[in-house]
Amino acid sequence: MPEGWVNVFDVQREAERKLEPGPRGYFSGGAGDEVTLRESVGAWQGWRLRPRMLTGVEAPSTAAEVLGKPLPVPLLVAPVAYQRLLHPEGEKAMARAAAAVGTVMCLSTLANATPADVAAAAPGGRHWFQLYPFRDGGVTRALMAEAVGAGFEAVVLTVDAPPGGSRERDVRSGFTIPGAVEIPSVAAALGGSRTVTVAETFDLMDLTLTWDDVAGIAADAGAPLFVKGVVTAEDAALALEHGVAGIIVSNHGGRQLDRCVTTAEALPEIVEAVARRVPVLVDGGIRRGVDICVALALGADAVLVGRPAAWGLAADGAAGAEWVLRTLTRELELALALIGVATPAELGPEHLRSAGPTRVYSGAEVSGSSSF
């Protein structure tokens, strides 16, 4: 363990120290006043666990299952763009970290590495591909085909962007992605690599998509299709009607619509609407093993983490990202033992009590975290 690291917030502070202001603001920031960014962490803290005693559980298992495939832990790596701005090895290092833990890494459309690059860097790893459909449908189809051809197990269609949210930290810092840090998908759409802003990348995407288009993408994907960015029961129902294989409850880490509902608040209604017909995953604000327990007890099949894994990558490359994933796994294992269940699947609503809504409109930071 790196000296002084005890939890993911320690890794966060190390990453904050190492990153330049522009990338630091991009990876840590949210939309508008960043209310949703702050509340996404605090909302998980708004639940209290109800442990049971003398259950005879000696050594809980963290094993889980998604899409009929086993996972050693119900914890996946969320898609994070531009990872070479965090570490020179970028997504390749993140893929190795996920593979070392045995879990799935979801590769962003806006990655600095291709699906083939990632598959080669972690040949024993498991990967999903996050998709932003481009205005140029040929680019979109080529991206999906390359990912599936490289062995990626699922396609994750993000539906809450574009357009990009009002990310004021990026405006203040003048954040850009240098042309030397190539984004292969953007280079394909532009016909070459050059320095771009986040807004310019989103300008390349198709803003006209409807649920009927989702059905078409599901038919063309060549792999199970998840939709990511759903926060209402109504949209969950529409997703099911249009052929998705799974739903990821997400508010884009508070980076899109400020004052959007948090995922901890949205998850129960979506779980009820889906009624176990497809897997429901959730991301946003997961910082502790007990957060994972809350999400699973609310009905999620697994969670994804983006910023914590990114902090690990920035702080210490693949080793740092792996440390974050293993630390969250250890915290989950301990929490399961203290709650008195043998597996994540045994968690349910009976293990929870609401502590009331958590609100941070005043701008105060969540306890234990820093600005990054």
pLDDT tens-digit map of 53-98: 999 999 999 999 999 999 999 999 999 999 999 999 999 999 999 9
Is the omega angle on the peptide bond into residue 162 within 30 degrees of 0, that is, cis? Answer: yes
135's tokens: 């205005």
How far is CA 50 from each of CA 294, 347, 348, 349, rounded to the nearest angstrom?
A: 10, 10, 10, 9
pLDDT tens-digit map of 120-137: 999 999 999 999 999 999
What's the full length of the chain, in residues?
A: 372
Q: Give the active site residue among 87, 127, 242, 252.
A: 252
CA–CA dist 74, 172 (Å, integer): 37
> What's the longest Cα–Cα distance across the chain?
64
pLDDT tens-digit map of 204-257: 999 999 999 999 999 999 999 999 999 999 999 999 999 999 999 999 999 999
121's tokens: 């860097």
Please return the burial class of 267, using the count of CB atoms within 10 Å of its CB with bins 0-12, 13-18 and 19+: buried
**DSSP result, 299-342:** T-SEEEESHHHHHHHHHHHHHHHHHHHHHHHHHHHHHHHHHT-S
Q: Residue 3's pLDDT is what?
A: 76
Residues 6+ away with beta carbon under 8 Å from 110: 81, 82, 132, 183, 185, 186, 201
CA–CA dist 309, 318 (Å, integer): 9
Q: Could you give the 3-state DSSP secondary structure of residue 43? A: helix
Sign, Cα dihedral of 163, 168, 174, 179:
negative
206's tokens: 């198709």
> Is the predicted pLDDT of residue 364 greater than 90, yes or no?
no
Pairing assessment for the beta strands 64-66 and 69-71 based on DSSP bridges: antiparallel
The ranges assigned to domains in the chain are 11-348
pLDDT tens-digit map of 260-299: 999 999 999 999 999 999 999 999 999 999 999 999 999 9
- Contact in structure between 255 and 236 (CB atoms under 8 Å): no
Q: Is 252 a catalytic residue?
A: yes
Q: Residue 287's pLDDT is what?
A: 98
The pLDDT confidence band at residue 355, using thresholds 50, 70 and 90, is confident
Q: Which amino acid makes up residue 222?
A: G
What's the gap between Cα 330 and its chain centre? 19
DSSP-derived secondary structure letter, 282 = E
CATH of domain 11-348: 3.20.20.70
Is the omega angle on the peptide bond into residue 163 within 30 degrees of 0, that is, cis? Answer: yes
CA–CA dist 50, 264 (Å, integer): 17
Mean pLDDT to the nearest integer, 128-156: 97
Say which residue, 238 or 371, is predicted with more confidence.
238
pLDDT tens-digit map of 184-194: 999 999 999 99
The pLDDT confidence band at residue 11, using thresholds 50, 70 and 90, is very high
- Contact in structure between 342 and 336 (CB atoms under 8 Å): yes
262's tokens: 């948090």
CA–CA dist 159, 237 (Å, integer): 14
pTM for this one? 0.94
- Contact in structure between 362 and 34 (CB atoms under 8 Å): no
